[in-house]
């Protein structure tokens, strides 16, 4: 199981963009009074989505109107799909381009700073076997300028390394000074 939530609703009056189109295919979404909310089990989502020629062309036009870091990577990929008349996009291929959910959210912050100044994303995964390492999660804080992230395993690795370095330093000091009385 792989769960994700995004902190903000996307206003109904907000921009209809290629990012939002992709996000609706990557994360479960539903309408609320505040706008479109995202969250749920991402493993329930289809891996391939048929966008259609017109939708892909609108995405390219949108990328040209308001450039972003992700548009520079994604535009040639979509133009290649249009040229080949292949309108199916395997979402795993976006990962091969180095494009993940957090990059689509950052693109919204870059292109529409008046609507999206930051996003908070929390995610978790679990396995049926409750062994250490089989479940965890993390979080991202995303702005137009940066994506800051932390995972539970990264946090534990960092704290373990600091503890072991401190412990080794303490062991070295006790050897030099001898036991305290």
Distance separating alpha carbons of residues 84 and 29, to the nearest angstrom: 30
- Residue 93 confidence class, pLDDT cut points 50, 70, 90: confident
Q: What is the pLDDT of residues 136-170, one digit of tens each?
A: 899 999 999 999 999 998 998 999 999 998 887 76
Say if CB 137 and CB 125 are below 8 A apart: yes
Say if CB 102 and CB 149 are below 8 A apart: yes
Q: What is the pLDDT of residues 21-74, one digit of tens each?
A: 888 877 888 888 888 888 887 776 666 667 788 888 888 888 888 778 888 888
């Amino acid at each position: 199981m792989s769960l994700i939530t995004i902190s903000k609703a996307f206003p109904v009056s907000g921009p209809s963009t290629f990012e939002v189109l992709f996000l609706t295919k990557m994360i479960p979404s539903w309408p609320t009074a505040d706008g479109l909310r995202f969250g749920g089990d991402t493993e329930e989502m289809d891996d391939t989505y048929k966008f259609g020629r017109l939708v892909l062309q609108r995405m390219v036009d949108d990328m040209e109107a308001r450039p972003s870091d992700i548009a520079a990577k994604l535009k040639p990929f979509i133009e290649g799909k249009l040229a080949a008349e292949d309108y199916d996009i395997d979402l795993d291929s976006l990962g091969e381009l180095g494009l993940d959910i957090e990059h689509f959210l950052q693109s919204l912050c870059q292109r529409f700073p008046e609507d999206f100044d930051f996003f908070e994303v929390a995610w978790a995964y679990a396995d049926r076997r409750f062994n250490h390492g089989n479940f965890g999660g993390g979080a991202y804080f995303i702005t137009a300028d940066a994506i800051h992230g932390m995972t539970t395993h990264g946090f534990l690795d960092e704290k373990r390394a600091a503890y072991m370095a401190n412990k080794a330093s303490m062991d070295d000091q006790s050897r030099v000074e001898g036991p305290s009385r």
